[in-house]
Structures are given as C-alpha cells and as structure tokens.
Chains A and B, each alone.
Chain A
Amino acid sequence: MRVQLFIPCYVDQFFPNVAIASLELLEKLGCEVVYPLHQTCCGQPMANTGYAHLASACDSNFAANFNGADYIVCPSGSCTLHIKEHLHVSDTTLQHNIRKHVYELNEFIVDVLGVKKIKATFPHKVGYHASCHGQRGLHLSSMSELMVAAFSKPAMLLQSVEGLSLYYPKRADECCGFGGTFCVTEEAVSVKMGVDRLQEHVANGVTYITGNDMSCLMHLQGIIDRQSLPLQTIHIAEILNKTETLCR
C-alpha cells in the first residue's frame, strides 16, 4: 500500500519527531511511504481567520504535491478535516480524489489498514486529549454531547499498548483553547481553557498527555513549560511507534 505523507507545516518546522514517528509507524504497518517534498501548509490558518479566499495558491501547491490516487495520511485531525472540507482547485476531479483519500493517522490505521492493536510498549500513565476537529469533524471517537454508543479509534489503539494506563479528564472532550489564531486574538480565554484542561490531567496524576493534534499539544506544552507542571505532551504517533519492528 502506497501512502503519501502529509505533514502539517508547524510539525515540519517544530515537531519533526512526530513526522518521523508517523513515517516509521506506517512503514512498520507495511506501507510504502513517500513524502512529497514541496508541500507547505494546508491553508487552515488563513481560512479559519476568514481569508479562505486567499488560499487558492496554497491549495494549488497542495494539489501539485498529492496525486489523489494514493492514500494521503496526516498526523493531524484539523489539517485533515480542512483539506476534506475546504480544498478548492480548478481540477475538480483531482479535488474530489484528494478529499476522498485524505486520512488522519489513527483513522487510516483502524479503518483502512484494519489494525486494532499495536504491539508497542509505553509503561506510563497517559492522559487522553480529544482534539476537537478530529473528534467532532472526522468522528475519530464518539462525542459526549451525542446520545450514541461510545467508541474511540485513538483510545482503542492506545489501550492496546503494553503497560499504558489511559486516563480521561473529567470533562472528557472539552476544547483545549488553541483554536488557530484564536490562541493569540483571544489570548486570555485561550490560556484559561488550556490551564483548566491541564488541571484535570494533573489531578489524574498522569505523566503524559497525548492526542492526535500537535497544535493542541503545542499550546498545552507552552503552558506546562511556563508553569513547570509535572507532566509533558507527546503525540500519539510517538507512543504507537514505541516498537521494534512489526507492529500488528
């Protein structure tokens, strides 16, 4: 199975380990992974700020890098959702194919590769952060507001990791407060939301907080570092990749 790796711009620049872990994990799961070298950004920071109309050149560059035939896998719920819902290029067939083939990492592993367990080891107490766009947009897991049966693709994978104890905060899926440019335009609310999230994880006594979106984790880590809180963030790809060779 051939996979084109789509790496969020800020992960490429600031969190290359997450991209490396995603690459290695997919290879261990039997995929042939290529990384299109001239990708930049999905355009979400502009679009969510009201400037979707300026994103066409960015979109064209994206479409020039991804052929729409292979699976496109991305270790970020929000970037995946953005491409799925807002990618616009003049070649509408290509647009349709890209939107159809783009997957967030966890949903790709569970839904396309059919993998439900990962032979990884991570003997730690881990707090689960349900990033909003992955959860409510891509339906990576059920949502506390809806009266439906509970499920979670990322949690299912995490719970199969040896030694890992997964803890949920009291407010299981409240937003962390990052919200794109919101994190600076409404800085007070953004930080307060992050602080409140972290307090629930600290109360659970976890060593790590994990999720599928590095943007949430970057925001939380920023607060953790400023307040010297006794825990750290780690992207789910980095946990699932804690394995030697074969993963299944």
Chain B
Amino acid sequence: MSLAHANNAAKFIANEERTNWHDDTLWFIRSKRDNAAASLPEWEQLREIASTIKAHTLDHLETYLIEFEANATKNGVQIHWANDALEHNAIVLNILNATNIKQMVKSKSMLTEECHLNQYLQANGIQVVDTDLGERIVQLRNEIPSHIVLPAIHLKKQDVSETFHQHLQSQKDNNDPTYLTRVAREHLREHFFASKVALTGVNFAVASTGSIVVCTNEGNADLGVHTADIHIASMGIEKLIPKPEHLSTFLRLLARSATGQPITTYSSHFTKPQAGKQMHVIIVNNKRTEQLAQDDFRSSLKCIRCAACFNTCPVYRRSGGHSYHTAIAGPIGSILSPNIDMKANADLPFASTLCGSCTNVCPVKIDIHNQLWKWRQRIVQEGYDATSKKVAMKGMSVVLANPKWYRLTGKLGRWMIKYFPSLANNPYLNVWAKQRNMPKVPDASFREWYIKNRKKV
C-alpha cells in the first residue's frame, strides 16, 4: 500500500505554523456551518429528506436520466453521453472544433478536474481560462485545487499577490484582498467578453423540466455563459433530482453546509439556450455505474459536493488537500476515488481515524466513516496492502485467537519495555516513540491480579 498520503501529510505538518493556520481557517468554516444549521429548527429533518430524495433518485436513475434527456432536448438543449473521461474531453473538443474556436472560459466543475479536461484541451491547442477566482489563482500557479469549494484555501494572500504580480502585473507586495480581487475582475472580464464558449459544471439537474442549476457566489458562471454563444455543461450521472420543488431542500442545505451562508449569491436555472445560441449538456459516467452497483458504496453518489466533510475532518485540516493526490480530496474523495483507481488511491481510506464527524455533517447523510472502513477491507482483499503489514496482521490474528499465546506475547512485550527501555523508546525501531513515550509498565496484568486477588478456586 502506498504511503503517499502519510508522507505528504508529514511534509505539510512540518510547517507547524502554516498547519495551525490551515486547521483554524477550516475549523472556522465548520463553526459557521454549525451556526447556519442551528438557525433552522428543521435542520435534521431536511437532511433526512435530502438523503431520501437522492436515494430514491439513484434507485430510479435510468428512468430519471431518460426523462431529463427528453425534456432538455425538447427545450433545444443538445444532450451528449460520455462513458469515461476521455469521451467527455473529446466531446468538448468536438464542439469547439466545429466552430473553430480556440478559447474557452470555465467556471467551477470538479468533474472536469476528474477528467483532466484542461490538460487535454491545452494539448489540443485550446486555451482554457478558469474564471472562479480560487481556481484562476491555482491555474496561474500550475496547481490543482486543494478543496472542492475553496480551491485556494491552502494559500495566503502573499502567495496570491506574488502570483498576480508575476502573471497579471499587479502591484508588488500589495496583499490587500479587495485590491487583488479587483485586479482579477478586470483581467477576467476581458476573457469573459472575448470568449465565445463557456463551460460550467452542474449542481443539480432536474429531470421533470430538463433544467440544470448552477450555484456560485462570484457570478462567473453566468457572466461566462451569457457573453458566450455556446454553453457546455458537464455533469455526472448522479446530479439528477426528480422535480424543481426538490431544489428547495437542496438549496437550503448546500450553502449552509459548505460555508455557513443561507444560500449562494446566484442559483442559476438554465432551461433553454438563448435564442440563436447553443446549449450542450454532457452526461458523464466515469465509473459511477460501478460505484452504483456496489451496495456498500452506492450511497456515496448522493454527494452534492458541499465539502462539509472536508471542513470537519481533523485529518484533512492538518494535511491539506494536496496530500490526497486526487481531484476530490477529504473524506468523500477517499470513498469515491478508490472506485476510479484502486491502486493509485489505496492509501486514502486509511487516512482517517474513523472518528465519524464527516458522517454527521453530511447534508445527505452518507455514512462516510463506515464506507471508509469497508474500503479498507476491499483494498486489503484485492491485494493492495503492503506485504509487511499482511505478515504482521496474520501474526496478530493467530496470537489473539489463542489465549496462551496472547498472554505470553503480552508478558514478553511488558518485559521488553521494562528491561530494554532504550530499545522500546527508540524512534527508529518504534514509530510510536518518535514523539510519544511508551506507557509505564505495570507489575502484573489485570488477569494476573484477578487470579491472585479474586478468583475463587
């Protein structure tokens, strides 16, 4: 099993000051979420309803997808289907090539990160400009987002200032967030007005009307689409909900869970392309059907990408999104990405203490920590665990099944620690001892005490 996350996390933590800042910032967002949730007496009922709507939709997904396609098509929207990332990327390229356009603006879409769309298009001569401020910052720095809602959460304003000075000629050492945001506004407005193609993600796709809903605070999705001639919307198959009235439940939960706001600034409902313009929706699988086919993991597809689980996760807050080496980091990423590539992501379900906080904040009640446990069993059974661990575990299973061997091993361990403390406390031999002392050794085990003091012969 790769130790990727553990190694990356250790490097991140080595800068303790920055780790504390990252941890405090995200915990603050978690507390804003708590305040927002507490403001609605019906909060827990809303979670239950949202969870059931999503479970129902997944159980009838084939019907709802066909309904969505029929209604959207009636509205003049062109529907495309892509079974994997490459097919999705090729469809986007085809739409661009058909009109000979070489530039595109893109608002936030984690699906396109998953598909590595930007790299694909760049390799095919298309310039892609990410217009969400956080995404534009990381794009200029040649990084991937570290958080699905707050892409640049790992950066300080000095970092942004340096990047903007280097690429956008902003004033050197001017770290004022308002100034920097205005610089980005002017820079991106040029791109909005120049681009004829705009790609957006989809927060929710409504089956009964064929509409899609996109939620933003910055207005970049709408500005991009309305100044363009072609709107491409990329969505995973799981984004569907049955009817518009269901949006009320999800829109009440999404922003409160994500950032503690009652709603995002814009909740845009796209139903028909503007007269004379094109609208395309690409429905993408990329192994979601395989996740759906597994009883243990299918409910992970209820996810509405709010990142509340990231913000509450004590491990994520102290290791940073890049430690997870996937498009979607954090707890939900750790139960989605092993399905997409088990070998590359075998370490992720182990990057957790199984504390269960994620499950409690999830607005659609995904039992994330239980699925993390189940993925561990699957990964080991598929053979992606380290041989040394397999051997140790096999040994442990034998010892723990046999009372005499258990007692002997325990006694031996205590004896070793008592008489060879330098060995026991050696950080090179014993990882525990790197930053912790070993427990003090008692004179007798409880069993020994019990037999001496209590057992009736």
Contacts and interface: CB of A to CB of B under 8 A. Distances in A.
A and B touch in the complex (CB under 8 A): yes
A147 B385 contact: no
Interface residues on A, range: 35 or more
A153 to B, nearest CB: 17
Nearest to B410: A13
Interface in A14-41: 14-17, 19-20, 23, 35, 37-41
B354 A179 contact: yes
A144 B451 contact: no
Contact of B355 (A13, A175, A184): A175
Mostly, the A contact residues are helix
Contacts of B227: none
A53 B381 contact: yes
Contact of B353 (A61, A145, A175, A192): A175
Given A186-B351, A193-B318, A221-B439, A50 B401 contact: no
Interface in A166-217: 171, 173-175, 177-180, 182-194, 196
Contacts of B19: 192
Nearest to B319: A189
B352 A179 contact: yes
B318 A14 contact: no
Given A16-B444, A16-B445, A58 B401 contact: yes
A154 interface: no
Contact of B315 (A45, A54, A189): A189
Contacts of A133: 354, 356
Contacts of A92: none
Interface in B427-441: 431-432, 434-441
B447 A12 contact: yes
B193 interface: no
Interface string B24-40: 00010000001001101
A65 B313 CA distance: 38
B425 to A, nearest CB: 10
Contacts of B296: none
Contact of B6 (A14, A48, A188): A188
A178 B406 contact: no
Interface stretch (B116-124, B271-279, B392-400): B392-400
Which of A17, A41, A47, A189 lies at the interface centre, i.e. has the most chain B CB atoms within 10 A of its CB?
A: A189
Contacts of A178: 353
Nearest to B449: A16
B179 interface: no
B9 interface: yes
A187 B401 contact: no
Contact of A132 (B353, B434, B439, B447): B353
A46 B397 contact: yes
A60 interface: yes
A156 interface: no
Nearest to B33: A145
B376 interface: yes
Contacts of B155: none
Given A17-B442, A193-B318, A222-B432, A185 B356 contact: no
Given A48-B376, A147-B43, A222 B438 contact: yes
Contact of A226 (B396, B435, B444): B435
The 6 closest A-B pairs by CB, nearest first: A179-B353, A222-B436, A57-B401, A50-B380, A145-B360, A50-B376
19 contacts: A9-B406, A9-B410, A12-B446, A14-B442, A20-B449, A23-B450, A35-B446, A49-B380, A51-B377, A145-B34, A147-B37, A148-B44, A175-B353, A188-B13, A189-B351, A191-B434, A193-B318, A219-B436, A225-B437
Given A13-B445, A46-B397, A188-B13, 5 more contacts: A15-B442, A143-B360, A175-B314, A182-B353, A191-B434
